[in-house]
C-alpha cells in the first residue's frame, strides 16, 4: 500500500515528513513525501535555516506524481504542516485525484498548541477550518487545535468527546483523533481520544518527562497506519498510544532533544507495552 505524505521536512531531527516517513516505511508502506516547508531543523532550536516551499513547486510535484498515475494508486493521503495557505489548493487537487481509487484523506491540522498558541502563518488556520478539515476522512488535532477549529473551549473530557464528534459530523463523518487531551487529565498520564461512527474511545499511557517536537506528527502517521492495517479505530488508537510511548521512553534514555526514531524503531513495529483503548460512555 502507498501513502502520499504532504508536510514539512527537516534535514536533522524528526518533525513533519521527517517524523512520518521512516515509521511508515518501517511498517511496510511505500510512502511518497512532498515537502511544504524545508529547513535545517525545526525552529524550536536556537539556530535554524529554512522556509516555506514555493506553492508552484509543491503543486508541480503533486501534478507530476498524478501524471504518472501514482496518486491513483494511493491508499491514503496524509497532510500536516502547510508553509503557505495557497498550498491548500494543491493538496485538495491531489486528494481529488487519489480518492476515486479508494484513498482516504487524513488531515493533521497543524495550527498550534497550548504552550505557544497559534504558530502558523496568517490564513493557514482558516484553510484547515474551512477547506481541508471538512474534506478529510480522518482529522488529528490536539485539544488546542480542536478548540480553535470549533471556536470554543472544551474544559471536560465529555466536552472534548462531543466537540470531536461535532467536528466529525461537520465534515465527511469519518474519524477524529484528539492526539493530546488535557481536559480533566492527570499529569502523570497522557490521554488520546478517538470518535467514529461506531463510538468513542480513550486511551491513557504514562507521561514520559521529555520535551521534543514532532510527537503529534508521529502520532498522526501511526494512527493512519494502524487504521490501514487493522481497519478498526480502537485497535489503531491503542497501537498509536503504545508506539509513541515506547518511542518517548527510548528518547528519554538516549537523552537527546529530538525523537529517537531510528533507535526506537522496534517500538514502532511491535511496542513493548500495550495500552488498550477503552470505550468512553456518555
> What is the per-residue DSSP string for 232-252?
-HHHHHHHHHHHHHHHHHHHH
For the chain, the average pLDDT equals 96
Q: Is the pTM of this model over 0.95?
A: yes
Domain map (residue ranges) of the chain: 2-279
Residue 10: name the closest of 1, 21, 18 by CA.
Answer: 18
Task: Please tell me what DSSP assigns to residue 100.
Answer: G
Confidence bin at 240 (pLDDT 50/70/90): very high
Instruction: Give, in order, the Cα–Cα distances in Å from 156 to each of 83, 101, 163.
Output: 32, 39, 10
pLDDT per position as a tens digit, 80-139: 999 899 999 999 999 999 999 999 999 999 999 998 999 999 999 999 999 999 999 999
- Write the CA distances from 242 to 127, 235, 271, integer angstroms: 31, 11, 6
> For residues 39 and 51, is the Cβ–Cβ distance under 8 A?
yes
Is the pLDDT at 277 greater than 80, yes or no? yes
Mean pLDDT, rounded, for 1-18: 96
List residues bridging with 199 in a β-sheet: 196
pLDDT (mean) for 253-261: 94
- Answer CATH for 2-279 from 1.10.3720.10, 3.40.50.620, 3.90.79.10, 3.40.1190.20: 3.40.1190.20
Amino acid at each position: 500500500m502507498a501513502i502520499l505524505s504532504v508536510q514539512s521536512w527537516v534535514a536533522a531531527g524528526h518533525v513533519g515528513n521527517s517524523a512520518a516517513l521512516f515509521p511508515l516505511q518501517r511498517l511496510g508502506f511505500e510512502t511518497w513525501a512532498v515537502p511544504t516547508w524545508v529547513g535545517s531543523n525545526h525552529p524550536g532550536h536556537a539556530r535554524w535555516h529554512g522556509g516555506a516551499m514555493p506553492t508552484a513547486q509543491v503543486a508541480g510535484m503533486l501534478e507530476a506524481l498524478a501524471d504518472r498515475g501514482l496518486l491513483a494508486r494511493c491508499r491514503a493521503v496524509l497532510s500536516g504542516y502547510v508553509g503557505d495557505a495557497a498550498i491548500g489548493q494543491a493538496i485538495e487537487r491531489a486528494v481529488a485525484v487519489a480518492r476515486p481509487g479508494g484513498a482516504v484523506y487524513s488531515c493533521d491540522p497543524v495550527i498550534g498548541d497550548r504552550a505557544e498558541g497559534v504558530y502558523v502563518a496568517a490564513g493557514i488556520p482558516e484553510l484547515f477550518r474551512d477547506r481541508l478539515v471538512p474534506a478529510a476522512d480522518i482529522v488529528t488535532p490536539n485539544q488546542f487545535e480542536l478548540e480553535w477549529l470549533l471556536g470554543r473551549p472544551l474544559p471536560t473530557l465529555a466536552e472534548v468527546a462531543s466537540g470531536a464528534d461535532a467536528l466529525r459530523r461537520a465534515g465527511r463523518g469519518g474519524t477524529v483523533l484528539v492526539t493530546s487531551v488535557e481536559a480533566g487529565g492527570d499529569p502523570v498520564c497522557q490521554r488520546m481520544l478517538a470518535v467514529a461512527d461506531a463510538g468513542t474511545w480513550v486511551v491513557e499511557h504514562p507521561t514520559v518527562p521529555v520535551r521534543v517536537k514532532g510527537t503529534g506528527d508521529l502520532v498522526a502517521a501511526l494512527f493512519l497506519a494502524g487504521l490501514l492495517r487493522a481497519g478498526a479505530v480502537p485497535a489503531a488508537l491503542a497501537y498509536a498510544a503504545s508506539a509513541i510511548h515506547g518511542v518517548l521512553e527510548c528518547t528519554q534514555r538516549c537523552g537527546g532533544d529530538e525523537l529517537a526514531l531510528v533507535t526506537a524503531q522496534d517500538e514502532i513495529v511491535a511496542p513493548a507495552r500495550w495500552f488498550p483503548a477503552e470505550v468512553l460512555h456518555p
